[in-house]
Structure 1
């Protein structure tokens, strides 16, 4: 799949107004989203992928076409990969599995290539793949795939849908300063204890369209035009632009 994107920086002071303007533009109320994102690093050279995740009763991924496509993409280069899990505000500040059980958390594995180079289009375009993982222990299977846990953070924001364009107004939150942990947290601290990555509290507005067949020029042209239409209609509110290619580089240096 290919992902086409435009971005805009939004000062914290404009966040509330932009939420209202996007609600009016899309004719929908914002959908609150909190994502827990775990960052894993693949070594070089990469270890051979173990096709099974976990032990008895877990899903056998050897037959998954999605996983095989993903492993093929990763075969020739080394990338940072993220596991993304949706959480709620009630999951933060818990100390018991009765409130939040990480082993019951549903995860999806997200891989995104460095954006395409040398394109004449005024949008960011990159190959991407997403694979749903079964719940349970995720550190052991990720290690079996040759990945090592690096860090984690939270994405806080609101989602709007306009035709096939997804508008995600969000910011990155860091966990409180502490010694680096060897594994993801079993429990999450209070949400108010997390701090914005951007100390000014600014947000990012991301406009994206996913194209199933990125080699089809007609589909890409149509998706690009949809992004341009959104950019034009929001130009008096926010300035959507192509992202910086190198800042979106997901390769391990």
Structure 2
């Protein structure tokens, strides 16, 4: 885990529901159990500010940083997929994105990574699909200076076969099963008696789970293989996240000086 990723997880998982701002001193305290020293936290904050995700603010306890509207949209979108709070219904249509002109290689790679994070899968170099439109799509395209045609369309064929073309579901299913096997002993060993340990474990657990956002678009159940391992992995993640949540919240409140 890098300090910048840990910072995003803390803002999205804890600070978003507490006003979306914290002092630099509180951020240093929050990231200390994750083995980040103060200079690394300050560097990560500065980089995140330059990238437009955080903005300096003056808080009652001193200088701090608040989420920008762009960060709020990104973290809300991620939270909806992490905790699967969207409606599960699907009308059979795909949201299709067709860039009119591809950017240079470096920008193209950034665009590809960003579209994957938003839940889009590639059918080719210039065609992306998702089961639902992302509210962040316009921001992502504008950031790379890309103009694209977007529309909803229904596939004339088996939609499950189309999904299997856009996403490697077999490999994704194996990785979900591996996630449970690897994390079961580590997360089960933490009982919540230490608030700092519970917080650190829950953040590392979340970070590992969040990586699936780049690969799993949240397809409707009818498009997934039988006995989809992602369902068992999601139940496993939810169960242990809820179990560690009270102790993790206590640690956050202590670091922020709020109860």
TM-score where L is the length of structure 1: 0.32
TM-score where L is the length of structure 2: 0.31
Q: Identify the structure with the greater strand proportion.
A: 1
Q: Which has the higher contact order (CA 8 A, sep 6+)?
A: 1
Q: Identify the structure with the greater helix proportion.
A: 2
